Structure 1
Amino acid sequence: MIKSATPYLFFFGKANEAIGHYERALGAKAKTKQTFGAMAKEGSTWADKIMHCELEVGEALILLSDGRPHPGVAPTNASMSVALQLDDEAEARRAFDVLAEGGNVHEKLFDAPWGGIFGVVEDRYGINWMFTAPKNAK
Structure 2
Amino acid sequence: MSLNPYLTFDGNCEEAFKTYEKVLGGKILAMMPHEGTPAAEHVPAEWHKKILHARLQIGDDVLMASDAPPGRGEKMQGFSVTLVLKDPKEAERIYDAFAEGGTVTMQLQETFWAHKFGMLTDRFGTPWMINCEKPMAA
TM-score by length of 1: 0.84
Q: CA deviation at 1:126?
A: 1.3
Quick check: 1:60 aligned with 2:58? no
Counterpart of 1:128 in structure 2 is 127
Secondary structure at 1:132 match in 2: strand
Quick check: 1:97 aligned with 2:96? yes
Which range is displaced more, 79-88 or 21-30?
Answer: 21-30
Counterpart of 1:71 in structure 2 is 71
Could you tell me how far apart the structure 1 residues matched to 2:15 and 2:30 are? Answer: 16
Which range is displaced more, 111-120 or 123-132?
Answer: 111-120
Letter paired with 2:7:
L
Letter paired with 1:19:
F
Counterpart of 2:32 in structure 1 is 34
Q: CA deviation at 1:71?
A: 3.1
* Alignment RMSD: 1.9
CA contact (8 A) 1:88 1:134 kept: no
Quick check: 1:117 aligned with 2:116? yes
Letter paired with 2:51:
I
Letter paired with 2:20:
Y
Identical amino acids, percent of aligned pairs? 35
Counterpart of 1:84 in structure 2 is 83
Letter paired with 2:21:
E
Could you tell me how far apart the structure 1 residues matched to 2:75 and 2:57 are? Answer: 24
Gaps of 5+ in 2: none
Gaps of 5+ in 1: none
Change (3 A) 1:115 1:124: closer
Deviations 1:105-126 (A, max 9, x none): 1111111202332111110011
